[in-house]
Amino acid sequence: MRNPFIITFKREVNTSRRYILQEFEDSLSKVDCLKCKMLRTGELLVENEFFCWPRDMLWNAWTGIAEIRISKHPTERTDYHLIKYAIDDSWNMSILIFGLLVFSLIAINSFDSEMRNAFFLIGVPVILSVACIGFWVHLWMQWVVFNRIMKYGSTRATMCNYNWPKIMGKKSDEELRQIIAGKHQLPQAVINIAVEELEKRKL
């Protein structure tokens, strides 16, 4: 049975970005409370720790998200892949449903009929409205994360400030091997470009 609380973002990317999942892993592994794992199916699984308090708890895009699965799929256009970014938001939905049930039971058992009617006519709609606003803000934050990595790779500032394909094209084979081996403090997205440059020279 399909989880009704999964929201999926999709976007096509050129096949030259062959290490796109590694770029997601490199970016998201640096986030508090997230653990990244590459599965045998080729998916990247990003798990959120339930009992974890991130430094930016109030404005954290990951609060309440159980996991994210990022996968790469072929498309009708042979030079493009489809990237799917599936967010499991079941923790947030479960907390909301549980909270409403608890407050409803309290209202039924503790309030008089007038207060009970006020709660169900005013309180419940207000709670649901606030929850909906929070949900859409939360979803927008995830959309920003997804698009930023899709567009800029694992490190936006580094990738934007320099023309890395041109820089790697001027490097010697030995320099490229050193970069690939991790002997320079460069983000994974830059290392991927070094790999592609070295493979291109072998053709």
Q: At 136, which helix (H) or strand (E)?
A: helix 124-152
CA 30 to centroid of chain Cα atoms: 12
What is the reported pLDDT for 156?
47
- Report pLDDT digits (tens) over 3-36: 778 889 999 988 877 778 888 888 888 777 788 8
Residue owning tokens 């990003």: 46
Q: Are the beta carbons of 72 and 83 closer than 8 angstroms?
A: yes
For residue 35, the cross-strand partners are 47
What confidence tens digit (pLDDT) does each residue in 85-119 have?
A: 999 988 878 888 888 888 888 878 877 888 888 88
| Separation CA 157–CA 164 (nearest Å) | 12
What single-letter DSSP state applies at residue 58?
G
Report angle CA 2, 37, 187 to the nearest 5 degrees. Answer: 125
Tell me which DSSP letter residue 52 carries.
Answer: -
Q: How far apart are CA 83 and CA 132, in angstroms?
A: 27
Query: How much is the pLDDT for 72?
Result: 93
Residue-wise pLDDT for 118-149, tens only, equals 888 888 888 888 888 878 888 888 898 898 88
% of the chain with per-residue pLDDT over 70? 87
For the chain, the straight-line distance linking the first and the last C-alpha, in angstroms and rounded, comes to 47
Cα angle at 55 between 54 and 57, to 5 degrees? 60
pTM: 0.67
- Say which amino acid occupies 73: H
168, 200 Cβ separation under 8 angstroms = no
Give residue-wise pLDDT tens across range 163-180.
788 888 889 998 888 888
Q: What is the pLDDT of residue 157?
A: 41
Vertex 199 angle, CA 193 and 203, to 5°: 140
Read off the pLDDT of residues 39-78 as tens digits, 9 standing for 90 and up: 988 899 999 877 666 555 445 677 778 899 999 999 998 8
